[in-house]
Structure 1
Amino acid sequence: MHCPYHYILVNVAFLACLSFNSLAQTIPDSKLTSLADNEQWLDLLHFHQIGFIPRFESQVDDDSFFIAPDGKYSPKSELKANIAAFTGDSSNLELICQFPARFHWLTQQLPELNFPEAKCPDYEDWFAKIDPKSLTLSFPAAYLNSPSSMFGHTFIRIDRASGSNALLDYSINFAANANPDDNELVFTYKGLSGGYPGVFTILPYYEKVKEYSHLESRDVWEYALDLTQEEVEQFVRHTWEIRTVHFDYYFVDENCSYQLLTLLDAASERFNFVDAFKLSAIPSDTVRAIEQAGAVKHARFRPSTLSLMTQMIDNLSDDEIHLARNLVEDNKLATNHLQRLDTESQAKVLELAYQYSRYLAVRKKSDLPHLGKRTIELLSTRSKIDKTKVFPDFPTPKYRDDQGHNSRRLTLAGGYDGSHHFQQLEIRAAYHDQLDALPGYIQGAKLEMLNMKVRRTEVNNEAKTRLQELKLIDIASYTPRNLLITPISWHVATGFYRPRSAPEELSSFLNAGGGLSYEYLGQRLYILTDGELNLDNDIDKGYWLAAGPRLGWLSQHEDWNLKLEAYRPFDLFGAKFKRLDIELGFSFNLGAQWQIRAQTAYHSFYQQQTKEQAYQHSSSFSLVHYF
């Protein structure tokens, strides 16, 4: 009969207190203190100090991870308990098998002690199945439709020594164990506040590729890591130790990318990645830190199903694209129109139709009852055409996602707001807008958090310095539509600003909209229907609810960007305003981390209650630095 596990831990802790006295004469206290303060020991216990007020405790929030009763708070107590549990007559093979990475490290640090030869069948069978030879860091691109993946995601593939198909290797992933019934608002709140337990999962790599490349249509970068065999094996040993424990999950700092860094730190004394991420851990920044440390041998690009389809569409005529769609959506597979094409064009149309059928199945959750059968029919028809390769290889992007500008931004600006000159300091916590340097980022996308502007103006020879604007979030996704893929473009922003009609007061705002985007000759055009809510005690009824069209043109390039946008909201409820905003912005990159900008805007405003009418032209010039 087996004892409950918590009962075993209590007894082991008690025996450790007794048996450690016999070791006290063998190990000087100074050496114990040195080992307890050793970075590798702290990494194995996940003692990392983060936040504005760091606490010295393990980030593991699971009692089963510690042998000592106060092990979460005292690395020295945990060290003593581990040594006692692993050595002498009181050695506990069950705990040795539970913590192979700790056991391995202690045998190297204290070779003079009597460590037993441990036999751990379950662990050894698992280790043999993993068969570790090397590690590959996988970085799916940002996915704006999920709060937890807006900045991208990272996980690690453990490459096997035997076998040549990477899809059959295992991957380790850290994510929030969320309640599937929680809506997006609850999910976001709990993710920001640590309301979910974070857990590691070990899955076949093909399941992760299916999830990101097919289901979410996200491109994936794969980075082969430059680790020794000993470091790879210690990584896997530690993976075994944390595979069943939980951590409090936080979107901003203790997230997927951060926790993977803790595993790498625990695997090698060469690494100390997590100390650079005490306040936040954006996935691209963590990948950048690994690359800059010289821990990347090479990188490989894995395009998503959506990217492959887009490439195919670019190589076909509109008639051929329509034919591919009909081959999928019609009730019967009619190939008579297909026979009119030459064999190469037939093969191209069938390949696009096959990819489109898969896209409908996993992405759009199509209600076509024949879709599963049709996918097989398309594949069978394509196999009868003796053309092995009809599309060019998908080109590797010139810039990887980690080679873009840094996430934080500092901007110094000077300009004229229509009545006064001003100087402005702007600082943004994250991450990218549509005038920022494009390389390494998604075209047409914007994701900003905590963007603050402080402005100094002179009015009647009196200088005023005050908060001009604080955007909490500002997110936009302007993905172009084509004959097969029809995404909705959207944006949402909220925060505080000084209205041009009442610059002495801060107003809160919420702005959101949806619509369509198209691309022509590399230029992106969009039209959205926007809704806007402003709250301000100084306006009639204290609020203004409006809606109207937003039209824009984006021209984004490797070295420069241009954006023109017009917005005309119409009153719905609350105060009565007439407003028109037209803005033009230009940016030019000065290397990877510097940029200059010129922006100009025209604003007209009319308030029905006061009959106040104003026309304002503003302009500014900025120097931007990413850090």
Structure 2
Amino acid sequence: MSESRYWNLLLHNVDGRSEIDDANFFFAQDGKTNAKSELHATIDALLNETKFDDNSSACKFPARKAWISEQLSISEFAHVECTEYKNILNRLNPKSATLVFPSAHINSPASMFGHTFLRINSAYNSKLLSYAVNYAANANPDKENAAIFAIKGLFGGYYGKYSLLPYYDKLKEYRDSEQRDIWEYDLNLKEDEVINMVRHIWELNGTHSNYYFFTENCSYNMLWFLEVARPTLHLKEYFNYQVTPLETVHACKAEGIIEDNFYRPSKRTTLLKYEELLNEEYVKTPLELVNTNINQQDIIDNTDIDIQQKRYILEAAIELLEYRRSKNKITKEKYLTLFHDISKARSTLGQGENLYIQTPPNPIDSHRAIRTSIGFGYREGESISFLGLRPSYHSLQDSNYGFLRGTQIEFMNFELSYSDKQIEVEDATILSIVSLAQRSDFFENLSWRTKFGWDKNSLDETANFIGTVGVGFSWGNEFAFIYAMTDPLFYLDGEFKSAIGASLGAVIDGESYMSTNMEITRRWYDTGDEQLLIGVYQSFRLSQNTQLMFSYDYKERLNFDLKRQEGTIKFNINYYF
């Protein structure tokens, strides 16, 4: 019995060791590393109860009790009163389950991978009355030093805890406050499988484990619940060295358990739609209403404003109010007063046109995280071959189909070149993050980017270590966006050097099957030298996981005080898996 897959799933065992780090989860002293000892101790605890209320062994571990009872044909354990467990079971009324994927948060490095959690659906028609099962680190990245937050997250410096919350609370957090679009993937789990999952969720109530950003994270721990619900699933086997939220969605698709999906636009997406619908002369009017520069009655009484535009103005003002309240940018008292007054004014205008927001490409159809590339080209008249590997995750040059526009996060991106019997490192990026958040009348976001690693963009021809953090602005529409950035940087070529860079870029991505990226950069070095860099990339999405890319890179070089120009034409095929 102790070697059975289900028992080891209940213990969260991997290679004979449990990933649960809370001693209260085990009956045996060596239960974390000895499944047989933990099984015997669990059976002994169930047969020899000393407490008969919510603190009894049976009440704390209903999934273990149900499985042991079935395996050993034990029909009568000691009678215990599990009031809390029965209450939560009645409240949940579990019928089905949904995997929920809040997409990336564009201005939060800790959330640019997205997130996943489970929703336990009841018999109620409204999914808002369901409950969400979440696993998260007990950390607040907004109140901690970013470097310390990253280091502790990478090396298990936080506890991860499970929580069970009303689904509408999670929607307010992710969709409204953090401006994330929500994707819901209904799973084909049967009712008895969902009940088994809920039993195990209860067993983890109040326990903790060490949280690791790339492995034992929010998404990974949801996979345990799904495998407990249906032990024939092997979702965790899809992952070795890293687990990203979107990849767990891909794994569920590969295992055939996703049967339907539903899209919920974020507050940001909704407000941007109102910006699109409002006439240019009225697009700032909702802001003036929220800032109390004008009164809602001024809108109602203005005969020059079309009635549908009046509806849009007031509706957008209500959405802005809710957004500002979710960010604590307005007091509760002021929010309630304005919300009441503007909503009352809106009710006098009757029913208007329904707000239609087109469903964007589904993340489940996006490219996978690992990218391999092979290419050939010419540099200064010489033929050259390229070979690349990137374990994770997405770049601006990749197809953004199913991804958040203007974002990039890459780890360990390596590219080698071969020419004239010589192999060189073209790129060895440790980390690169880009957030090009387009500004609008309602959102005045900063854009930023950072990179650490080796590349060949310096004045000489070798790969030098570079570090940079840049800020700027981005503007765009549905067809394209542009950006302007300033990037202080340092690099090492035997000695420490610094520079300041200024970049202008454009991305044309209005078509789902292709995109064009262009950037021109001027750098001023502390040595007094200057450098011009130009990059042009044209990519075509051939299939979900295949991309064709043409690129041209121009770099000014400096050798022995002689400046020269270097151009590289490259043809690449990228494959994602």
TM-score range, shorter chain: over 0.9
Which one of 204, 221, 236 corresponds to residue 259 of structure 1?
Answer: 221
User: Which residue, out of 46, 54, 57, partners 1:86?
Assistant: 46
Partner of 1:567: 521
Residue 63 (structure 2) aligns with: 101
Q: Distance in 2 between matches of 1:367 and 1:159?
A: 34
Cα distance in 1 between the residues matched to 2:381 and 2:459? 13
Q: How far apart are 1:567 and its partner, in Å? A: 0.5
Distance of 1:302 and 1:606 partners within structure 2: 53
Residue 357 (structure 2) pairs with residue 394 (structure 1): yes
Per-residue deviation, 1:334: 5.5
Which of 526, 529, 535 does residue 483 from structure 2 map onto?
A: 526
Matched, 1:170 2:131: yes
Match of 2:22 among 39, 62, 66: 62
Instruction: Report the equivalent of 1:508.
Output: 465
Partner of 1:20: none
Taking the aligned partners of 1:167 and 1:207, their CA distance within structure 2 comes to: 9
Instruction: Find 1:142's aligned residue among 92, 95, 104.
Output: 104
Q: Letter of the aligned partner of 2:401 in structure 1?
A: P
Provide the rounded CA distance (Å) in 1 between the counterparts of 2:343 and 2:75.
64
Pair 1:275-2:249 in alignment: no
Query: Matches of 1:484 and 1:568 in 2, distance apart?
Result: 32
Q: Is the 2:391–2:413 Cα contact (8 Å) retained in structure 1?
A: yes
What per-residue deviation string (whole Å, max 9, x for no partner) do you get for residues 554-605 of structure 1?
011211111111001223x4x3321000111111121111111110122223
For 2:339, the equivalent position in structure 1 comes to 375
* Residue 584 of structure 1 pairs with residue 536 of structure 2: yes
Matched, 1:465 2:465: no
Contact 2:297–2:345 (CA<8 Å) still a contact in 1?
A: no
**Distance of 2:352 and 2:439 partners within structure 1:** 27
Per mean C-alpha deviation after superposition, the further-off stretch among 336-345 and 235-244 is: 336-345
1:21 corresponds to: none
Q: Distance in 1 between matches of 2:274 and 2:49?
A: 66
Contact 2:296–2:342 (8 Å) recurs in 1: no
> Is contact 1:544–1:576 with CA below 8 Å preserved after alignment?
no
In the other structure, the counterpart of 2:564 is 614
After superposition, residues 147-296 of structure 1 pair within 5 angstroms as 147-161=109-123, 163-178=124-139, 181-296=143-258
CA distance change for structure 1 residues 172 and 321 in 2, over 3 Å: closer, same or farther?
Answer: same
- Looking at structure 2, the residues matched to 68 and 623 of structure 1 have their Cα atoms a distance apart, in angstroms, of 54
The Cα of 1:438 is off from its aligned counterpart by 2.2
Q: 1:385-411 deviations in whole A, cap 9, x for unaligned?
A: 11x2324332222x2112101111000
Shift in alpha-carbon separation, 1:374–1:121, aligned structure 2, 3 A: closer
Q: Are 2:485 and 1:497 equivalent residues in the alignment? A: no
Say if 2:402 is the partner of 1:430.
no
How far residue 102 of structure 1 moved from its aligned partner, in angstroms, is: 0.6
Alignment of 1:340-489 (within 5 A): 340=303, 341-363=305-327, 365=329, 370=334, 372-386=336-350, 388-397=351-360, 399-418=361-380, 420-458=382-420, 463-489=421-447
Contact 1:348/1:390 (<8 A) preserved: no
Partners in 2 of 1:364 and 1:568 — Cα distance?
A: 40
Residues 269 and 308 of structure 1: is their aligned pair in 2 closer, same or farther, counting only changes over 3 Å? same
Residues 447/105 of structure 1: CA separation in 2 closer, same or farther (3 Å cut): same
Q: Which stretch shifts more, 330-339 or 257-266?
A: 330-339
| Secondary structure in structure 2 of the residue aligned to 1:178 | coil
> Which letter maps to 2:436?
Y
Q: 1:36 to 1:193 in 2, by over 3 A?
A: same
2:14 maps to 1:48 = yes
Q: Which runs of 5+ in 2 are unaligned?
A: none
Shift of 1:371: 5.0
| Letter of the 2:35 counterpart | P
Q: Indicate conservation of the 8 Å contact 2:375/2:573, yes or no.
A: yes
Aligned partners of 1:261, 1:472: CA distance in 2, in Å?
28
Rounded Cα–Cα distance in structure 1 between residues aligned with 2:459 and 2:314: 58
Distance 1:123 1:528, change over 3 A: same
1:578–1:606 Cα contact (<8 Å) kept: no
Q: How far did 1:301 drift?
A: 0.5
Say if 1:582 and 1:603, in contact at 8 Å, map to a contact too: yes
Aligned-partner Cα distance in 2 for 1:369–1:417 = 65
Count of aligned pairs between the two proteins: 570
Render the CA deviation track for 1:496-555: whole Å, top value 9, x for unaligned: 124554334x42111221111111461211111221211221xxxx22222232101101
SS at match of 1:234: helix
Deviation at 1:190, TM superposition (A): 0.5
Secondary structure of the residue that 1:262 maps to in structure 2? helix
CA distance in 2, matches of 1:260, 1:76: 25
AA at the equivalent of 2:535: E
Question: What's the secondary structure of 1:442's corresponding residue?
Answer: coil
Q: Which amino acid aligns with 2:529?
A: F
8 A contact 1:85–1:92 mirrored in 2: no
1:590 match: secondary structure: strand
**For residues 315 and 269 of structure 1, do their structure 2 counterparts lie closer, same or farther at Cα, with a shift above 3 Å needed?**
same
Corresponding residue number in structure 1 for 2:500: 547
- Paired AA for residue 39 in structure 1: R
Distance in 2, Cα, partners of 1:216 & 1:566: 32
Give structure 1 stretches of 5+ with no counterpart: 1-34, 50-55
**TM-score, normalisation: structure 1:** 0.87
Aligned-partner Cα distance in 1 for 2:490–2:202: 51
Q: Distance in 1 between matches of 2:458 and 2:315?
A: 54
Percent of aligned pairs with the same amino acid: 30
**Deviation of residue 211 (structure 1)?**
0.3
Q: 8 Å contact 2:119–2:133 — kept in the other structure?
A: yes
Aligned-partner Cα distance in 2 for 1:177–1:488: 28
* Contact 1:492–1:510 (8 Å) recurs in 2: yes
Aligned positions of 1:13-28 closer than 5 A: none
Partner of 1:26: none
Distance 1:502 1:547, change over 3 A: closer
TM-score (norm 2): 0.94
Segment of structure 1 superposing worse, 114-123 or 527-536: 114-123
Cα–Cα, structure 1 residues 117 and 228, in superposed 2: closer, same or farther, change >3 Å? farther
Q: CA offset at residue 158 of structure 1?
A: 1.2
Matched, 1:321 2:272: no
SS at match of 1:492: strand
The amino acid across from 1:365 in the alignment is K
- Whose radius of gyration is greater, 1 or 2? 1
Quick one: distance in 2 between partners of 1:113 and 1:107?
A: 7
- Tell me if the contact between 1:86 and 1:92 (Cα under 8 Å) persists in the aligned partners: no
Tell me how far apart the structure 2 counterparts of residues 90 and 322 of structure 1 sit (CA, whole Å): 67
Structure 2 counterpart SS, 1:239:
helix
CA deviation map 1:162-211 (0-9, x unaligned): x3332222111000012674211111110011110111011111110000
* 8 Å contact from structure 1 (residues 147, 188) kept in 2: no
Deviation at 1:255, TM superposition (A): 0.4
Is 2:457–2:555's contact at 8 Å kept on the other side of the alignment?
Answer: no
